[in-house]
Structure 1
């Protein structure tokens, strides 16, 4: 078995692979071990008691993190006329219609969030095979198909995080930066966990929130006691 690099071995010191830590303990451990030369993203992984292959067990939603994500989000908006002007005024980075479709089909996808007004969806629908796999397809369930373009752009820029359960029932998200204070990370994590809890589908059986862990981009994972998230883990 190959030997772990010194930095990784050192970052794992003092962390038990089996212990479930209180949320505040876990946040401190992750922050203390974020030693990369860049501001690492703090990520959360939540294993849910669902099978997303069934329609009544799909988990999807959006959470507005109280302290933002710490990253600059580029927003593209599909809109025309007054709504296009509204999107630009709200701070959207890219605004267009047919021209934006051509740009995306040409291979240029230089944005992190995509918003559309409802009348644009027949046009945007042509991009399903391109935007869908990247998680960029506008969807009314997460507020990215809307006439309230200003709110959608502000939410995206201000820290709105979309989440969706993967095949194994796992939800991943970046919920801040290692440079955030412990308090800010705690608030963001609790807000995200609460949003996922409220998104519990009707078909979920048994324990909904099964396992939770957090880590920084280059750091080890730290397992969290779901009870310390202050959400209805089994509700």
Structure 2
């Protein structure tokens, strides 16, 4: 009896379905992770790698092509020197080592405007026209072809030009039309629209007087501007034969046109063109360099460039205003 009492007790493990109950309980207590979570994590990792590689490649391309791009990407530590329009014109000429008769002066600026809500687009007549050979197509009735050709148009008519354009002909640079002929021009809108050559009242190509519009287009004084992307606008304001005074006068005239065509919801739209940013509502901070001044500023960045090989010369946005003395010194 004493030997039986001293023997250790024996435990029996219950068996359920051929497996011990302990094993079944351990399996049930484990956290179940579906396989698609693993694939999702791998996919997210691959996406992050591709995004990082794309950003690195874009940065390398920008650093390699910086001199030929419209804007020069400066490092954070590099000081950004801004000049007045008068000084920028003189610096631009200083880099004209090998004169090129076909080079043109280009003004680039970035506007403080939301293009998803408004559009900055229009035309202006520069005081000094560019010497460019522009080919004009005048859409008119077939019985007015001789009259439009005599006014200076390179091509005129409606039946023959529409037929040739449908066949792939695009031997012109600018199209002009009257409102009465536009229903016939709409037949080729799918061809001219993607190329931004479709006559439009906003671009000044749908007019009442075709003869006057032809003379203005052939004279080189008519300039069409349009902001794209992040409010970036590029316009040709001169060529190699222009003096600095003519370039500055065209620049000032274009700035005035941009201020007049400024959208109402854009920065500083409540003020006049010459005094933009000077009149402020009550409660505005008077400390120079305040954040409100940046918000009310319409021209954020600007530079001028002579030809494709010349470097961009940055212009102080505040000195672009027509009332600035930067056009004289």
The aligned counterpart of 1:101 is 162
Does residue 182 (structure 1) correspond to residue 244 (structure 2)? The answer is yes
What is the Cα deviation at residue 155 of structure 1? 1.4
Q: Check 1:148–1:198 CA distance in 2 against 1; reply closer, same or farther (3 A cut).
A: same
Q: Is the 8 A contact 1:83 1:149 kept in 2?
A: no
2:193 counterpart SS class: helix
Higher relative contact order (CA 8 A, sep 6+): 1
Q: Is the 8 A contact 1:17 1:222 kept in 2?
A: no
- Conserved? CA contact 2:101–2:240, under 8 Å: no
CA distance in 2, matches of 1:162, 1:70: 15
- The residue that corresponds to 1:111 in the other structure is 172
Q: Report the secondary structure of 2:80's partner residue.
A: coil
* Greater strand share, structure number: 1
Q: Which moved more, 1:39-48 or 1:81-90?
A: 81-90
Task: Detail structure 1 runs of 4+ shifted over 4 Å in the superposition.
Answer: 1-4
1:196 alignment partner, one of 248, 252, 258 = 258
1:216 maps to 2:306: yes
Query: Does the 8 A contact of 2:144 with 2:157 survive in 1?
Result: no
Deviations 1:98-122 (A, max 9, x none): 2111222222212221101112212
Please give the alpha-carbon distance, in whole angstroms, between the structure 1 residues aligned to 2:239 and 2:250: 11
1:163 equivalent to 2:225? Answer yes
C-alpha displacement at 1:144, in angstroms? 1.2
- RMSD in angstroms over aligned alpha carbons? 2.7
2:276 is aligned to none
SS at match of 1:130: helix
- Paired residue for 1:80, among 136, 141, 164? 141
TM-score normalized with structure 1 length = 0.85
Say which SS state the counterpart of residue 24 (structure 1) adopts: helix
Give 5+ residue unaligned stretches, structure 1.
none
1:30 aligns with one of 87, 92, 96? 92
For the residues of structure 2 that align with 1:163 and 1:105, how far apart are their CA atoms? 27
What is the aligned length? 224
- 2:323 and 2:120 map into 1 onto residues whose CA distance is 16
Cα deviation for residue 17 of structure 1 reads 7.1
Question: What residue ranges of structure 2 are gaps of 5+ in the alignment?
Answer: 1-59, 73-77, 268-295, 325-329
